[in-house]
Structure 1
Amino acid sequence: MESRGAELSGTLLERRYRIDTMIARGGMSSVYLGLDTRLERPVAIKVMDSRLSGDRSFLDRLEREARTAARLHHPSVVGVYDQGVDHREDGEIAYLVMEYIEGGTLRDVLHERGELPIPLALSVLEPILAALAAAHEAALVHRDIKPENVLIGRGGTVKVGDFGLVKAIAGAGTTSDSVILGTVAYLAPEQVATGAADARSDVYSAGLVLFEMLTGTPPYTGDTALSVAYRHVNNDVPAPSTLRQGIPAELDELVVRATRRDPSVRPSDATAFLNELRRVRSALGLHPVPVPVPPSKVAAKLPSYKPARDDDPPTEQITAITDYTDGPTVVKPRQQPASAGPMGTRTMNRSDLPAMPQHPPPAEAEPEPAQQQQPSKRQRERARGKRLALIWSIVIMVLVAGVGGTAWWLASGRFTDVPVLAGQTLVKAQERLRTADLVAKVVHEPHDEVPIDEVIRSDPQSGSKMLRGNEVTVIVSSGLPEVPRVVAGASLTDAEQAIREAKLQPAQNASVNDYSVEVPEGFVLRLVPDPGVKLKVGSPVTIALSKGKPPVAVPAVAGMTKETAYAELRRLGFEPEDGGQDFSADYEAGRVARTDPPAGTKLDSKSSRRVKVLLSNAITVPNVTNQKASDAAKTLREKGLDVEVRHVLPGGGRDDATVVSQSAAPGTRVKPGTKVVLTCLF
């Protein structure tokens, strides 16, 4: 591939895509900045290694994976425009045509800055997980998440590329249990041990990317790929705070959970990981920040291109580690890829070639009789003139034929008619276009009546004149449109765009909105009907939005001490404040009498969370019977009560008279200032 890279500059693939400058080189492919000469737009062209281009099984798998990736419509996924094989004398060139992102990769940011600020690391990871969530919803696993596959373009947009490519390469002449394909620094343990990969494998790799953004280095390094692979299998990824101080415990826990060796205890997929990330960010009070565009990777205009990098870790094949334990690791011998097959270039012996027809030897000229008379000088000149006239006649005839042929070609021979395609199957339509020397560009579009894989129309229409080799857009029915899969937590704008792309009409209805602990207010909660339901073109799809966290009832704290009541309110997210005092016959002074709002009142995220706490000022009446009237009166007045002393017998009124009864029973709670009547005999 390295020697071939320079030769490809200026190459035109399938008479359409011009290869210009190499952007990046990996273990299995190289990426070039190129030009779509028909649409006149810059594109990124990924050219597969020549060892893969001749493998029929790889080409079939690459086509399937490219189709799947092309169906991923998400703002954080690099668009796949086309896929093909250019057949050349020196072999086939398999390629992918992708969206060109003018900028650089996350690797460039890490090269430039090292460890990233925590808000920036989370702002980069969120669109990565959003892209993976869309892929996992479509049952597509990336298998090779790493900083080199995270592109950062204008405005700080973050996009993930190379969806499905590893799966396609892995099927080229290898067995899943003998050869592993990927970047060992980011491989999940199960990929190393068995070659198996699912959504949780992408979660592991994304966790390692977060680890590297926070610390500036991946958790495992080594002299060889296998030494790094062993550590994935036999070691737990450490918390980022072991390498960098100041990382919150919540973020440490998130990284450790995403990178557990046991897949069952990781987040189940990227959607779950994304929700956990948003909860952690909300708990830490962090907000998204702009993502910087790597300056060294931005091409101002064509054809001022970016230089290729050779220091990025490649996607490579390593032998599988079959013992997925902490014990000794057993390694199977690596098997060599299968032969390139009949599509590859091969050497043949001349003896194997079919016999060539033999031409008879030229007849020997008859010797001139000795007595034949020699021609005169005039006869020789006449013969020479005839030969010259014949030669010029032939030259003129060739020129006339050439000019006539060229004129025919320029006038009409270059053009061909677009055949009738509407109503044909896709296979039949492609065959008709090939016969007419035209190229088919297939676009799938939902339709209420036209069966799946049947042509609805073409652009240009049938009968139109076109230059041979040009492209005809064939609009093929994908059947009734389906409600798209929109990840919970997506923005309203993204959901509306996905619904419109599915040829359906987005709608809103406040009655379907609901509260959610996980999805922030104003973001998508679900779609109604559910994703996958088939509808007629233009049918409404209601977007249910989150109303934020559900309302919380004010707890009953009456009777508690002030400190206990404040702690309980704060635990539930309320803000307690002093509401003064209030009388309550049920609770003694200093205990909580009531709250404002009252207990049981439900407050949502839009309501004020302030709760006033009112303490009881009730006075518990002491027992003063059998005491001297003067002492009893003093005791009651010290409690804050009013006192009246009454004498039953005439002539009473002595200060040392004994109290025989009191109007307020001992132990009852009364308001401050309440009058208590003391009765004495004398």
Structure 2
Amino acid sequence: MIDKGYLLGERYRIIDTLGEGGMANVYLAEDIILQRKVAVKILRLDLQNEPQTQARFQREALATSELSHPNIVSVLDVGTDHGLPYMVMEYVDGPNLKEYIQKNSPLDLNEIIRIMDQILSAVALAHKHNVIHRDLKPQNILMDKRGNIKIADFGIAVALNQSSITQTNSVMGSVHYMSPEQTRGGMVTKQSDIYSLGIILYELITGTVPFNGDTPVAIALKHAQEPIPSIRKKDSSVPQALENVVLKATAKDPRDRYATAQEMKADLDSSLDPERADEPVFVPYHGNNDDKTIVLPGFKPQKEEKEVVEPAKTESVESSKLVKKKTFLQNVKSHKWWWLISIIAAGLIIFMMIFALSGTGNKRQDVNIPDVTNIAEKAAESKLEAAGLQVGKIIRRQSDDIKKGRVIATKPTAGNSLERGKSVDIIVSSCSSMVKVPDMV
């Protein structure tokens, strides 16, 4: 702990403690040069003597400072004080998203989309710079007094080794938002962040997280094995298209999720459109993931007890085989009707399998929908036609991220399978959205 009044780096005077975590502590400080309040993040004292941790903290802080975005907490300075690494960030005077949800739930659907658009825009920029957050959750998302979103803690999780991370209370709490591949110890990708964004969207809509349990292991197993609870069963006023955004973002297999945060944003922005009112429930193409289950920290699976039979003598083994043979013949004779019924049933099953396999030649030919996002409209049409698909409706929509005349997304989205010759709708950027110029006189 740093005492109040301490002058860090001969510039930042500690005012108060904002938060204490398993990896770092955050303090409110005053920049005595620029005379403004800042937030200072300092690695825990028990980790400051690890050279590898210090080096990674420095690298991550520098990488985060490159993410210049209005919805990402700005990194203002990085330094050390008596060997203690610290990072100075802009101070956001307001609650985190978790506190905002608890206080204001249920939220208006348009307000939910406004909040998520800011989060997705920030994550899209981070992913463009190959920065994966790894620990997206409402506690790491701040909101100022004007309702602007600020994402904090980009990349800090990789500053520690895996065993250190899993022992902290803060990361244990993050299991509510972790993707199945993270809980299995698999590769963390951009789709892992998208899964966490889907859980955040679920909580914004319902006011609660989808899975709870007595232990982090129990919650992790639910993420890996159980389907996301239906939002519409809790609130039928939520459009199916909006629930589909949650279902696609939280698909168990990363291949079924959105390819990019930008694609998720485009789908979310149109989820309240009347033309999507009769949209069917999203069904993942790849189904559940078949990754191997790993042992999570603090969880010791029971060993399977194998029955070992050691024959005392060869004669006893041979005699037991004879007994089994006699018993088998006796069973056949005494239960001949059951055997006859079983043979008939087996024959019917084999006949049905042969009939089903013989009809595979008439199976429809499916093709994968190519990714045509951010390319010109005509080029997109040519690419779809080359893939064996027809161009359906051309939908014009404003976009701040995609240039005029380029494709924002397709319906159905890229990566899904569709019968050859079917039509695909194209959402094309008409122009960037208009904003009112404030009176600066």
**TM-score range for the pair, normalised by the shorter chain length:** 0.5 to 0.7
Question: Matched residue of 2:397: which SS?
Answer: coil
Counterpart of 1:34, as a letter, is A
Mapping of residues 656-671 of structure 1, within 5 Å = none
Q: Structure 2 vs 1, CA of residues 39 and 109 (structure 1 numbering), >3 Å: closer, same or farther?
A: same
TM-score with structure 2 length normalisation?
0.63
Name the structure 2 match of 1:200: 191
Q: Deviations over 1:223-282 (max 9, x none)?
A: 111211111111121232232231111111111111011001100121121121123244
The Cα of 1:196 is off from its aligned counterpart by: 2.4
Name the structure 1 match of 2:341: none
Name the structure 1 match of 2:156: 165
State whether residues 185 and 294 of structure 2, in contact with CA within 8 Å, keep that contact through their aligned partners in structure 1.
no
Name the structure 2 match of 1:270: 261
Name the structure 1 match of 2:213: 222
Match 1:73 to one of 41, 46, 68: 68
The Cα of 1:108 is off from its aligned counterpart by: 1.6
Partners of 1:119 and 1:30 lie apart in 2 by 35
Counterpart of 2:295, as a letter, is V
State whether residues 521 and 548 of structure 1, in contact with CA within 8 Å, keep that contact through their aligned partners in structure 2.
no
Question: Matched residue of 1:104: which SS?
Answer: coil
Question: Matched residue of 1:9: which SS?
Answer: coil
Match 1:12 to one of 7, 10, 14: 7
Question: Matched residue of 1:154: which SS?
Answer: coil
Question: Matched residue of 2:271: which SS?
Answer: helix
Counterpart of 1:125, as a letter, is M
Match 1:521 to one of 398, 402, 408: 398
Q: Structure 2 vs 1, CA of residues 488 and 97 (structure 1 numbering), >3 Å: closer, same or farther?
A: farther
Question: Matched residue of 2:30: which SS?
Answer: strand
The Cα of 1:54 is off from its aligned counterpart by: 2.0
The Cα of 1:154 is off from its aligned counterpart by: 3.3
1:54 equivalent in alignment to 2:49: yes
State whether residues 18 and 37 of structure 1, in contact with CA within 8 Å, keep that contact through their aligned partners in structure 2.
yes
Unaligned residue ranges in structure 2 (runs of 5+)? 278-288, 300-372, 376-392, 410-424, 432-441
State whether residues 29 and 40 of structure 2, in contact with CA within 8 Å, keep that contact through their aligned partners in structure 1.
yes
Q: Structure 2 vs 1, CA of residues 518 and 27 (structure 1 numbering), >3 Å: closer, same or farther?
A: farther
1:106 equivalent in alignment to 2:97: yes
State whether residues 105 and 207 of structure 2, in contact with CA within 8 Å, keep that contact through their aligned partners in structure 1.
yes
Question: Matched residue of 1:127: which SS?
Answer: helix
State whether residues 179 and 192 of structure 2, in contact with CA within 8 Å, keep that contact through their aligned partners in structure 1.
yes
Partners of 1:126 and 1:256 lie apart in 2 by 17
Partners of 2:86 and 2:407 lie apart in 1 by 46
Partners of 1:75 and 1:173 lie apart in 2 by 32
Name the structure 1 match of 2:419: none
State whether residues 374 and 408 of structure 2, in contact with CA within 8 Å, keep that contact through their aligned partners in structure 1.
no
The Cα of 1:332 is off from its aligned counterpart by: 5.5
Counterpart of 1:159, as a letter, is K
Partners of 2:206 and 2:93 lie apart in 1 by 27
Kindly indicate which of the two structures has a greater share of residues assigned to helix. 2
State whether residues 142 and 149 of structure 2, in contact with CA within 8 Å, keep that contact through their aligned partners in structure 1.
yes
1:42 equivalent in alignment to 2:28: no
Q: Structure 2 vs 1, CA of residues 154 and 192 (structure 1 numbering), >3 Å: closer, same or farther?
A: same
State whether residues 26 and 41 of structure 2, in contact with CA within 8 Å, keep that contact through their aligned partners in structure 1.
yes
State whether residues 521 and 547 of structure 1, in contact with CA within 8 Å, keep that contact through their aligned partners in structure 2.
no
Point out 4+ residue stretches in structure 1 off by more than 6 angstroms: 171-175, 547-550
Counterpart of 1:189, as a letter, is P
Q: Structure 2 vs 1, CA of residues 11 and 239 (structure 1 numbering), >3 Å: closer, same or farther?
A: same
Q: Indicate the structure (1 or 2) with the bigger Cα radius of gyration.
A: 1
The Cα of 1:325 is off from its aligned counterpart by: 4.7
Partners of 2:49 and 2:212 lie apart in 1 by 34
1:545 equivalent in alignment to 2:404: yes
Partners of 1:190 and 1:269 lie apart in 2 by 17
State whether residues 143 and 150 of structure 2, in contact with CA within 8 Å, keep that contact through their aligned partners in structure 1.
yes
State whether residues 28 and 37 of structure 2, in contact with CA within 8 Å, keep that contact through their aligned partners in structure 1.
yes
Mapping of residues 382-397 of structure 1, within 5 Å = none
Deviates most, 22-31 or 106-115: 22-31
Partners of 1:8 and 1:488 lie apart in 2 by 52
Question: Matched residue of 2:266: which SS?
Answer: helix
Mapping of residues 254-403 of structure 1, within 5 Å = 254-283=245-274, 325=290, 329-331=293-295
Name the structure 2 match of 1:125: 116
1:248 equivalent in alignment to 2:239: yes
Partners of 2:112 and 2:12 lie apart in 1 by 36
Name the structure 2 match of 1:211: 202
The Cα of 1:131 is off from its aligned counterpart by: 0.2
Q: Structure 2 vs 1, CA of residues 138 and 117 (structure 1 numbering), >3 Å: closer, same or farther?
A: same
Counterpart of 2:131, as a letter, is L
Partners of 1:334 and 1:103 lie apart in 2 by 36
Partners of 2:175 and 2:162 lie apart in 1 by 18
The Cα of 1:330 is off from its aligned counterpart by: 4.5
Q: Deviations over 1:548-571 (max 9, x none)?
A: 999xxxxxxxxxxxxxxxxxxxxx
Partners of 1:284 and 1:26 lie apart in 2 by 46
Match 1:97 to one of 83, 88, 100: 88
Counterpart of 1:545, as a letter, is K
Name the structure 1 match of 2:147: 156
State whether residues 115 and 149 of structure 2, in contact with CA within 8 Å, keep that contact through their aligned partners in structure 1.
yes
The Cα of 1:222 is off from its aligned counterpart by: 1.2
Mapping of residues 450-465 of structure 1, within 5 Å = none
State whether residues 521 and 546 of structure 1, in contact with CA within 8 Å, keep that contact through their aligned partners in structure 2.
no
The Cα of 1:146 is off from its aligned counterpart by: 0.7
Mapping of residues 432-581 of structure 1, within 5 Å = 520-521=397-398, 523-525=400-402, 544-546=403-405
Q: Deviations over 1:608-648 (max 9, x none)?
A: xxxxxxxxxxxxxxxxxxxxxxxxxxxxxxxxxxxxxxxxx
State whether residues 203 and 267 of structure 1, in contact with CA within 8 Å, keep that contact through their aligned partners in structure 2.
yes
Partners of 2:143 and 2:254 lie apart in 1 by 29
Question: Matched residue of 1:10: which SS?
Answer: coil
Q: State the Cα RMSD in Å.
A: 3.5
Counterpart of 1:113, as a letter, is N
Identity over the aligned pairs, expressed in percent? 32
State whether residues 18 and 35 of structure 1, in contact with CA within 8 Å, keep that contact through their aligned partners in structure 2.
yes
Q: Structure 2 vs 1, CA of residues 171 and 79 (structure 1 numbering), >3 Å: closer, same or farther?
A: farther
The Cα of 1:27 is off from its aligned counterpart by: 2.8
1:24 equivalent in alignment to 2:30: no
Partners of 1:261 and 1:517 lie apart in 2 by 31
Q: Structure 2 vs 1, CA of residues 548 and 273 (structure 1 numbering), >3 Å: closer, same or farther?
A: closer
Unaligned residue ranges in structure 1 (runs of 5+)? 287-323, 336-486, 490-515, 526-543, 551-571, 573-603, 607-682
The Cα of 1:147 is off from its aligned counterpart by: 0.7
Partners of 2:117 and 2:15 lie apart in 1 by 33
State whether residues 548 and 605 of structure 1, in contact with CA within 8 Å, keep that contact through their aligned partners in structure 2.
no
Q: Deviations over 1:499-552 (max 9, x none)?
A: xxxxxxxxxxxxxxxxx9687336443xxxxxxxxxxxxxxxxxx4348999xx
Partners of 1:47 and 1:546 lie apart in 2 by 47
Q: Structure 2 vs 1, CA of residues 172 and 217 (structure 1 numbering), >3 Å: closer, same or farther?
A: closer
State whether residues 170 and 181 of structure 1, in contact with CA within 8 Å, keep that contact through their aligned partners in structure 2.
no
Partners of 1:518 and 1:26 lie apart in 2 by 47
State whether residues 259 and 266 of structure 1, in contact with CA within 8 Å, keep that contact through their aligned partners in structure 2.
yes
Q: Deviations over 1:342-379 (max 9, x none)?
A: xxxxxxxxxxxxxxxxxxxxxxxxxxxxxxxxxxxxxx
Partners of 1:207 and 1:330 lie apart in 2 by 24
Q: Structure 2 vs 1, CA of residues 488 and 125 (structure 1 numbering), >3 Å: closer, same or farther?
A: farther
State whether residues 404 and 430 of structure 2, in contact with CA within 8 Å, keep that contact through their aligned partners in structure 1.
no
State whether residues 549 and 605 of structure 1, in contact with CA within 8 Å, keep that contact through their aligned partners in structure 2.
no
Counterpart of 2:46, as a letter, is R
Partners of 1:59 and 1:547 lie apart in 2 by 44
The Cα of 1:75 is off from its aligned counterpart by: 1.2
